[in-house]
Amino acid sequence: MEVHNPADGRIVGAVADTDPSQVEAAVARLRSEQPAWAALAPAERVEWLLRLQDWIFANSADIADLMQAETAKPRVDAEIEPMFVAEVIGYYAENAARFLAAEHPRPHSPANMSKKLAVTYHPYPVVGVITPWNYPLALPGIDAVPALLAGAAVVIKPSEATPLSAMELARGWAEIGAPPVLEVITGRGATGAAVVDAVDFVQFTGSTRTGKAVGHACVDRMIPYSLELGGKDPALVLADADLDRAARGIAFGGMLNAGQMCTSIERVYVVDAVYDEFVQRLVAIVAELRMGVDDREFRYDIGPLVDSAQVEIVRRHTDEAVAAGARVVVGGAATGQGNFFEPTVLVDTDHSMSCLAEETFGPTLPIVRVADEDEAVRLANDSAYGLSATVWTGDRARGERVASRLEAGTVNINDAHVNLFNLAVPMGGWKQSGVGARFGGAYGIRKYCRTRAVTVDRLPVAKSPSELLWFPYSRRKAGLALGMMRALRARGLRARIGRH
Ligand code: NDP
């Protein structure tokens, strides 16, 4: 498969279009290597991941060059991806042993106090990580790292549009001489489906449509999955917001990576009292964004969209909005060069328009005037998606109150995308935006494990040969056992002793 640069269409590489039939063999290879990997102590796996981190730091500029070749991202966006993977390695390296250690919860009832309880964590043998094109190194990296540290082997299937960056992870893993428990398999959708058919856990990031197909396939095989899907994230600008910060934050939140971000701000609700001033400030900032093909100079803010199909979606959402009465205040069209689309602000939009109802995944910010906070919340929740949201207010308590009313997996107050860099909290979507989450402290690594519960007597005392509820049943034994259960749970003395 040829890989193209989206700014000028030139071919920047070619990778195998792996036949689905070859996926099974690759997964079988990983499956045979995995037990030895899982048998290492967490500290030994941590050491391999830290060596990968060293390799990433040493090669970050070259990785960014390659990523720019296949995405034409601005330099900052390209350089941040290897740094982010390194950050994720650092976080889980520091915490993996603790997160994976056996837990000993207290028995839930006095009746069980004689037992010592344990919960132990055991990796799924092979985890399949399937990723889209918008963050071609970060997404496979941040999912592969905790899965590897959990003791699983990992197969990554990157997007056919941007496979080169993910392949760098496999190159790094091989160059540090790590055990062969990480493979990248390139190919199209059918190759991804074959991965789903072969692995033991699927970590999928992509569109809601494909995510549903993946979920169905996982249910058919009775294997677990985690789905990070699309979004249509709202921003709520309240009357007491710092309008300068809100405008800058929303411009960044909506335009980062040319809006090709699951957590992009794609709907902006501004209360009437500050509407005009906010729009004026936002437009001034968006109009100054620099769009172009960056090199290593950090000169541009916005790059092109990934392909012409994506340009077509953004164009359709903009044109349909205008046809239905919206106004373009800045931008509004494809430049005609490569896959560039101008950073765009739309006003006079409403929920009947595709720009507010469907995921756009492009550099557009449709703005809606609302009467007050209540209307902002109602409209923000009027979406099939529920990935994340932002609230802009000068009153922290008010921001937290509004957050508690939003149907979203994350709410950033007076900030955008910042939750992504907070690995102790889960990043997961409500409604059509996903199932499960990535990150989230211990959850982020334990999700790649099956649990085993073990019960054993707390004291090594000689046991009676039988238990109260073992055979043979009798009225006396049943009376004792049932009476004890009633006495421990019923409300009120009379109920406890069986008098009603
Ligand atoms: P797609 O759903 O089209 O593709 C995602 C991945 O799935 C690609 O690797 C694709 O391969 C593969 N794939 C396609 N068909 C199948 C199948 N039947 N079984 C298994 N795998 C398959 O998404 P896009 O690449 O278009 O990415 C954009 C989407 O990703 C947006 O909706 C965005 O919101 C979402 N996203 C969500 C994030 C989150 O964390 N919630 C983060 C980033 C993006 P191929 O490309 O070769 O067809």
348 with 446, same domain: the answer is: no
Structural domain includes residue 428: no
* Ligand 1 center–CA 160 separation, angstroms: 10
Q: What confidence score (pLDDT) does residue 500 get?
A: 77
Q: Indicate whether residue 74 lines ligand 1 (CB < 6 A).
A: no
205 with 241, same domain: the answer is: no
Domain that holds residue 119: 2-229+441-450
153 with 199, same domain: the answer is: yes
Q: What confidence score (pLDDT) does residue 389 get?
A: 98
**What percentage of the chain reaches a pLDDT higher than 90?**
98
Q: Are strands 385-386 and 434-435 parallel, antiparallel or unpaired?
A: unpaired
- For the cut 90, the answer to whether the pLDDT of residue 464 exceeds it is no
121 with 215, same domain: the answer is: yes
Structural domain includes residue 18: yes
The pTM for the full model equals 0.97
211 with 354, same domain: the answer is: no
Return the residue whose CA atom lies nearest to atom 30 of ligand 1.
206
Closest listed residue to residue 148, CA positions, set 140, 138, 159 = 140
Sequence-distant (6+) residues with CB within 8 A of 198 are: 23, 24, 27, 126, 128, 155
Q: What confidence score (pLDDT) does residue 381 get?
A: 98
- For the cut 80, the answer to whether the pLDDT of residue 25 exceeds it is yes
Separate counts of helices (H) and strands (E) for the chain: 16, 21
Confidence of residue 463 (pLDDT cuts 50, 70, 90): confident
Six-digit token string for 175: 């160059």
The helix or strand, by DSSP H or E, that contains position 121, with its residue range, turns out to be strand 115-123
Average pLDDT score over the chain: 97
Sequence-distant (6+) residues with CB within 8 A of 213 are: 193
| Domain CATH for 16 | 3.40.605.10
318 with 296, same domain: the answer is: yes
**How many CB atoms neighbour CB 189 within 10 A?**
15
Give per-residue pLDDT as tens, 418-450.
999 999 999 999 999 999 999 999 999 999 999
Q: What confidence score (pLDDT) does residue 425 get?
A: 98
Q: Indicate whether residue 159 lines ligand 1 (CB < 6 A).
A: yes
Length reported for the chain = 500
- For the cut 80, the answer to whether the pLDDT of residue 462 exceeds it is no
Structural domain includes residue 483: yes
Q: Which ligand 1 atom minimizes the distance to the CA of 193?
A: 19
362 with 475, same domain: the answer is: no
Confidence of residue 388 (pLDDT cuts 50, 70, 90): very high
Structural domain includes residue 426: no
Structural domain includes residue 455: no
387 with 484, same domain: the answer is: no
* Ligand 1 center–CA 218 separation, angstroms: 16
Encoded amino acid at 442, one letter? A
Give per-residue pLDDT as tens, 289-328.
999 999 899 999 999 999 999 999 999 999 999 999 999 9
Handedness of CA 413, 419, 425, 428 (dihedral sign): positive
Whether 143 contacts 423, CB under 8 Å: no
Return the residue whose CA atom lies nearest to atom 35 of ligand 1.
206
Q: What confidence score (pLDDT) does residue 390 get?
A: 98
Q: Examine residue 472 and say whether the peptide bond preceding it is cis (omega within 30 degrees of 0).
A: yes
Q: Indicate whether residue 178 lines ligand 1 (CB < 6 A).
A: no
Give per-residue pLDDT as tens, 179-206.
999 999 999 999 999 999 999 999 999 9
Q: Are strands 2-4 and 11-14 parallel, antiparallel or unpaired?
A: antiparallel
Structural domain includes residue 90: yes
Q: Indicate whether residue 23 lines ligand 1 (CB < 6 A).
A: no
Whether 7 contacts 291, CB under 8 Å: no
Closest listed residue to residue 158, CA positions, set 194, 185, 182 = 185
288 with 354, same domain: the answer is: yes
Return the residue whose CA atom lies nearest to atom 12 of ligand 1.
189
Give per-residue pLDDT as tens, 240-278.
999 999 999 999 999 999 999 999 999 999 999 999 999
196 with 244, same domain: the answer is: no
Six-digit token string for 171: 């190159």
Return the residue whose CA atom lies nearest to atom 46 of ligand 1.
159
- For the cut 90, the answer to whether the pLDDT of residue 42 exceeds it is yes
Q: What is the tally of structural domains in the chain? A: 3
* Ligand 1 center–CA 360 separation, angstroms: 14
Q: Indicate whether residue 205 lines ligand 1 (CB < 6 A).
A: yes
Return the residue whose CA atom lies nearest to atom 34 of ligand 1.
230
User: Which amino acids are annotated catalytic?
Assistant: 228, 262
Closest listed residue to residue 18, CA positions, set 207, 158, 180 = 158
Structural domain includes residue 460: no
| Domain CATH for 374 | 3.40.309.10
**How many CB atoms neighbour CB 214 within 10 A?**
21
Give mean pLDDT, residues 339-355. Answer: 98
Q: Indicate whether residue 262 lines ligand 1 (CB < 6 A).
A: yes
212 with 289, same domain: the answer is: no
168 with 79, same domain: the answer is: yes
Structural domain includes residue 432: no
Six-digit token string for 147: 């899965």
**How many CB atoms neighbour CB 482 within 10 A?**
13
- For the cut 80, the answer to whether the pLDDT of residue 86 exceeds it is yes
Q: Indicate whether residue 157 lines ligand 1 (CB < 6 A).
A: yes
Instruction: State the Cα–Cα distance between residues 323 and 335, nearest whole angstrom.
Output: 20
Q: Indicate whether residue 362 lines ligand 1 (CB < 6 A).
A: no
Give per-residue pLDDT as tens, 95-146.
999 999 999 999 999 999 999 999 999 999 999 999 999 999 999 999 999 9
For ligand 1, pick from 159, 184, 191, 263 the residue to mutate: most ligand atoms within 8 Å of CB: 159
For ligand 1, pick from 157, 205, 430 the residue to mutate: most ligand atoms within 8 Å of CB: 205
* Ligand 1 center–CA 217 separation, angstroms: 15
Whether 340 contacts 349, CB under 8 Å: no
Q: Indicate whether residue 241 lines ligand 1 (CB < 6 A).
A: no
Sequence-distant (6+) residues with CB within 8 A of 112 are: none
